[in-house]
Amino acid sequence: MAKTLSELRIAIDTVDRELLQLLNRRAGLANEVGELKRGEGSPVFRPEREAQVINGLQAANPGPLKGENIAHIWREVMSACRALEAPQRVAYLGPHGTFSEQAALQFFGSSIEHVPCSSIDEVFRATSGGSAQFGVVPVENNTEGVVTRSLDLFLNTPLHIVGETSLLVRHHLMRTTNSLEGIEVVVAHPQALAQCQAWLNTHLPNAERRAVSSNAEGARLAAGHPNWAGIAGERAAAEFGLHIAAHAIQDDAFNRTRFAVVCLPQTLQAPEASGRDCVSLIVSVPNKPGAVHDILVPLKQHGVSMTRFESRPARSGQWEYYFYIDLEGHPAQPQMAAALQDLRSLCAFYKVLGTYPLGE
Ligand X SMILES: C=C(O[C@@H]1C=C(C(=O)O)C=C[C@H]1O)C(=O)O
* Interface residues toward ligand X, by CB under 6 A: 30, 33, 45-46, 49-50, 53, 78, 81-82, 85
The Cα–Cα gap between 209 and 205 comes to 10
Question: Shortest Cβ distance from residue 131 to ligand X (Å)?
Answer: 21
Closer residue to ligand X in complex, CB, 47/95 = 47
Closer residue to ligand X in complex, CB, 109/116 = 109
Question: Shortest Cβ distance from residue 290 to ligand X (Å)?
Answer: 45
Closer residue to ligand X in complex, CB, 47/116 = 47
Amino acid at 36: L
Closer residue to ligand X in complex, CB, 49/243 = 49
Question: Shortest Cβ distance from residue 52 to ligand X (Å)?
Answer: 9
Question: Shortest Cβ distance from residue 30 to ligand X (Å)?
Answer: 4
CB 134 within 8 A of CB 82: no
Q: Which residues have C-beta within 8 Å of that of residue 290, sequence separation ≥ 6?
A: none
Closer residue to ligand X in complex, CB, 46/330 = 46
| Total Cβ atoms within 10 A of residue 256 | 13
The Cα–Cα gap between 140 and 161 comes to 14
Query: Which ranges in 41-184 belong to alpha helices (H)?
Result: 47-60, 67-85, 99-108, 120-129, 148-156
Question: Which DSSP letter does residue 226 get?
Answer: T
Angle of CA points 225, 228, 234, to nearest 5°: 100
Beta bridge partners of 281: 325, 352
Question: Shortest Cβ distance from residue 90 to ligand X (Å)?
Answer: 13
Closer residue to ligand X in complex, CB, 57/238 = 57
Question: Shortest Cβ distance from residue 85 to ligand X (Å)?
Answer: 6
